[in-house]
Structure 1
């Protein structure tokens, strides 16, 4: 069986970096990937794909990528479900990235002359974003892939 995915797209917002209780870095971000065709109005459409990356790569993504950055990644598709705040079962499909490539030099990205150090935020803490459609990650040590 094979579960591999390769994507190239732009981040829709700055990555969110958090840490598990054991100090393992995890970053989440959404990648807008253009479809290879246009709709009936002649417009390009995109798919918005939730992505997760772990450890050192997560810290690099959080420090060097931001909203609008062009990135390529390879990884695997993962599905999970949990009970939402309203008590209903929520199903999520996301890409767990093994490798992330930064596809633009930092000099071509505005206001990115040096990496921004992000504050450590524990996993499960509420992100300070206006977009609330992504639920916090609730991960036990038994769920971690290492």
Structure 2
């Protein structure tokens, strides 16, 4: 059996970080995910999907995610229920995330791709490095600077 979901959308509000009585961090936020079609009036529609993260992933999301930020979430769908004050049973469907990827930088530049895998406890940053101590200059080894390329016949595979 398989219960996996991958969503890409924007946060509708800042994440809410709370702690359980035993001290476990939990964060809740809602992701607005566009539908792949438009309504009869030509308007785009979206689904608003509640997401829950736990432990270190919850704290990371609370620190780095903000309203409007484009985010990818990977996890599983969970349906839970409780009885409200009126004695009625209320069902809640939500995504329990185990991997959250920040698809835009905090400034909204859009060229960073950061992810945090809650299960592996490892934070990965795939964006351009901005090391304050040294100037990192990355050069494209295939760029054309106009000079001839010196290749010997021994280097060719044919």
**TM-score when scaled to structure 2?**
0.67
Q: Deviations over 1:35-79 (max 9, x none)?
A: 010010011000000110011110011111111111101000000
Report SS of the residue matched to 2:51: strand
In the other structure, the counterpart of 1:27 is 27
User: How many residue pairs align between the two structures?
Assistant: 109
Return 5+ residue gaps in structure 2 as ranges. Answer: 110-158
CA distance in 2, matches of 1:85, 1:103: 40
Return 5+ residue gaps in structure 1 as ranges. Answer: 110-146
Give the CA deviation at 1:107.
2.1
In the other structure, the counterpart of 2:83 is 83
Give the aligned CA root-mean-square deviation in angstroms: 1.0
CA distance in 2, matches of 1:2, 1:108: 34
Report SS of the residue matched to 1:99: strand
Which of 1 and 2 has higher RCO (CA within 8 Å, sep 6+)? 1
Larger radius of gyration: 2
CA distance in 2, matches of 1:29, 1:39: 26
In the other structure, the counterpart of 1:61 is 61
Q: Deviations over 1:103-142 (max 9, x none)?
A: 1011227xxxxxxxxxxxxxxxxxxxxxxxxxxxxxxxxx
**TM-score when scaled to structure 1?**
0.72
Report SS of the residue matched to 2:56: helix
Give the CA deviation at 1:80.
0.5
